[in-house]
Chains A and B, each alone.
Chain A
Amino acid sequence: MALLEVENLQTHFRTPDGGVNRAVDGLSFSVEAGETVAIVGESGCGKSVTSMSILRLIPEPPGKIAGAIRFNGRDLLKLSDREMRAIRGNEISMIFQEPMTSLNPVLTIGQQIGEALRLHQGMSRSQAEAKAVEMLTLVGIPAPARRVKEYPHQLSGGMRQRVMIAIALACNPKLLIADEPTTALDVTIQAQILDLMRDLKRTVGAAIVLITHDLGVVAEVAERVIVMYAGRKVEEAKVEELFRAPKHPYTQGLLGAVPKLGSSLTGETERLAEIPGLVPSLKQRIDYCVFAGRCPYATDLCREVTPALEEKAPGHVAACHYAVKEAVAA
């Protein structure tokens, strides 16, 4: 049994003018224990909404979540608020994109790291503070005993993201969701944070769902990749396989002409090739291929029939009528 199984996840929002925004529409994927899975796509494709949906952090209303999110076999969507709270920050925790604004400006670092410990492990105030110092040491913050008493505005962006990671890891979660953890940081800091996450993954052993638009990050950290477009999964494969032989025209567009594995390590920065056209409005129902409007190969078939996700090569699925099928066993 997989650690996390997301099945037909739909997260829709009611818009102020009475319409419906189908931010995530029928997404399925799974994450094994200890595995790192990346979800990639352009902004607005539903990556962040997916991560927020897993922890049920979507405000309802105006949002609504349907489908199933099974964590260790329990459907999170069926849990009570109290049961859900016991999972958040404890078994599943999350790192957010904006370290500058994700920490509470009026509470000390120690209070913020200690909160999860006191909630989930029943620690006393002093125990929690001691553990907070330990966590700060773990994420490589110098002078942790002094830092726990400080406020977020006294820390740099990179430091704050380290604090966020310390908060997320405080209770030894089984699953860590990292939503663009490095996007808001300087390039040098980005590398440090990625290194830190890789180290911690080894020591802590948590599964990671990494949400990102940066394929360089994906290549360095992830084992499996899910490509999302307009609220749906369009392709999924092992990372080497996806970079070697992308099946979906959208993925091909994302990777540009010559995908190279680990190029950001060698100093060649992977640039997202421009894909002409705009992401379709999610306010309209799209009952055909969501990428048809921007796809250089789109045919009438694409504009009429929604392609199903098909296994195009072993362990490699894509939702495209025309994607080349390699020899698939049975």
Chain B
Amino acid sequence: MSTTILPPGAVSPKSVAKAAPMPDILATRSPPKGFVGYLWRHPTIAVGGFLLLVMLFIAVFAPWLWTKDPTALAPVMRTRNPSAAAWFGTDMLGRDVYSRVLYGARVSLIVGFGVAFFSSVIGLFIGLVSGFVRWADSIIMRIMDGLMSIPSILLAIALMALTRGSVGNVILAITVAEIPRVSRLVRGVVLSLREQPYVDAAIASGTRTPVIIWRHILPNTLAPMTVQATYICAAAMIAEAILSFIGAGTPPIIPSWGNIMAEGRALWQVKPYIVFFPAIFLSITVLAVNLLGDGLRDSLDPRLAKRV
């Protein structure tokens, strides 16, 4: 302590007055780090992701999961209750409900992912045009307002009433109904980013629009769009089930969860299991996607997390 600078006029203290240390009134916690830590902080992603992986596994490996031909009729085996021979029972045509439910995962997931993908791509395009082309904006947004005024299930029903039932047409019908949501989202992002000084500067300095989109718009759109796409995926799977359920969806020959339930409708008071088994699978899958969406929203954008 020889070279110490002391406050003016001070001398080294003869005795040191030591303050009593304050106790901690809250215990520190150390949550896990890394990927495990990420899942720990976002349990909905862990649970939703796990359930979705299980469903994907079921959809892909349905033929090897002790299933029979889901379309094989067995009139003598009609409406048997669940048993060792038919785990989920049989329907009114004697088909094995377990096999049909497992194969049904394929239709639901294809429709869900298909609608999420196509509505994102088309919505992104429309949103970008709307955000960058001034004269087109008001026209496009009027059209989107109009489209959003038609309740989406009704819009899909109308489209399905005019086309032959197929998985492709179901995806198309639900996609049309979901596009306005994505394009509005993208347009909103574009318009708010255009207000940002750095984007403003890029535009002013003559950066070409595609470059601006690639460098500034797309990276900022990705997070909200991913979240939106998960919700659209969930909504699409429910919409598919509803369409099939009321007879406006995939053709009855295809074992989709909506179709199985539609066929079980007539018997639901006596043989409720025909409706409830596909219902449970559908609900779990949609739940998984919704949980994933909630978790992604919380983790990708803490500001968004406060909203719905």
Contact = CB atoms under 8 A, between A and B. Distances in A.
Interface of A: 8, 10, 12-14, 17-20, 22, 25-26, 64, 66, 249, 252, 285, 287, 296-297, 299-301, 305-310, 319-324
A322 B5 CA distance: 10
Contacts, number: 75
Interface string B11-27: 01100111111101111
A319 B16 CA distance: 11
B133 interface: no
Contacts of B196: none
B6 interface: yes
B22 A323 contact: no
A307 B1 contact: no
B37 to A, nearest CB: 10
A10 B22 contact: yes
Contact of A324 (B4, B10, B27, B28): B10
B9 interface: yes
10 contacts: A22-B24, A285-B24, A287-B21, A305-B16, A306-B19, A307-B18, A308-B19, A321-B13, A321-B17, A324-B7
Interface of B: 1, 4-10, 12-13, 16-22, 24-31
A10 B4 CA distance: 33
A215 B231 CA distance: 54
A35 to B, nearest CB: 26
Contacts of B16: 301, 305, 307, 321
Contacts of A26: 19, 22
A18 B29 contact: yes
B17 A307 contact: yes
Is chain A's interface secondary structure helix, strand, loop, or mixed overall? loop
Given A10-B22, A26-B22, A309-B19, A18 B30 contact: yes
A306 B4 CA distance: 18
A320 B7 CA distance: 10
B28 A18 contact: yes
A308 B15 CA distance: 12
A12 B29 CA distance: 14
A22 B28 CA distance: 11
Contacts of A322: 6-7, 10, 12-13
Contacts of B13: 301, 321-322
A315 B1 CA distance: 31
Is chain B's interface secondary structure helix, strand, loop, or mixed overall? loop
A173 to B, nearest CB: 29
A296 B19 CA distance: 21
Contacts of A308: 17-20
A306 B6 contact: no
Q: What are the nearest 6 A-B pairs in CB distance?
A: A18-B29, A308-B19, A308-B17, A26-B22, A306-B19, A322-B10
B5 A19 contact: no
B304 to A, nearest CB: 16
B21 A12 contact: no
B19 A297 contact: no
Nearest to B37: A17
A8 B22 contact: yes
B18 A305 contact: yes
Given A18-B31, A299-B4, A308-B17, A10 B10 contact: no
B26 A20 contact: yes
B5 A66 contact: no
Please indicate which of the listed interface residues A297, A322, A324 has the most CB atoms of chain B within 10 Å of its own CB.
Answer: A322
Contacts of A249: 7
Contacts of A307: 16-19
A25 B26 CA distance: 12
Given A64-B26, A297-B4, 9 more contacts: A13-B26, A22-B24, A297-B10, A306-B19, A307-B16, A310-B17, A321-B13, A322-B10, A324-B9
Contacts of A324: 7-10
B148 to A, nearest CB: 29
A10 B31 CA distance: 24
Nearest to B12: A322
Contact of A20 (B6, B8, B17, B28): B28
A287 B22 CA distance: 9
Contacts of B18: 305-308
Contact of A12 (B6, B9, B24): B24
A12 B17 contact: no
Please indicate which of the listed interface residues B7, B20, B29 has the most CB atoms of chain A within 10 Å of its own CB.
Answer: B7
B25 A12 contact: yes
A221 to B, nearest CB: 29
B26 A297 contact: no
Nearest to B18: A305
A301 B20 CA distance: 16
A254 to B, nearest CB: 15
Given A25-B22, A322-B10, A300 B28 contact: no
A285 B13 CA distance: 25
B7 A323 contact: yes
Contacts of B6: 297, 322
A225 B13 CA distance: 25
Contacts of B20: 308
A151 to B, nearest CB: 26
Nearest to A322: B10
A240 to B, nearest CB: 20
Contacts of A8: 22
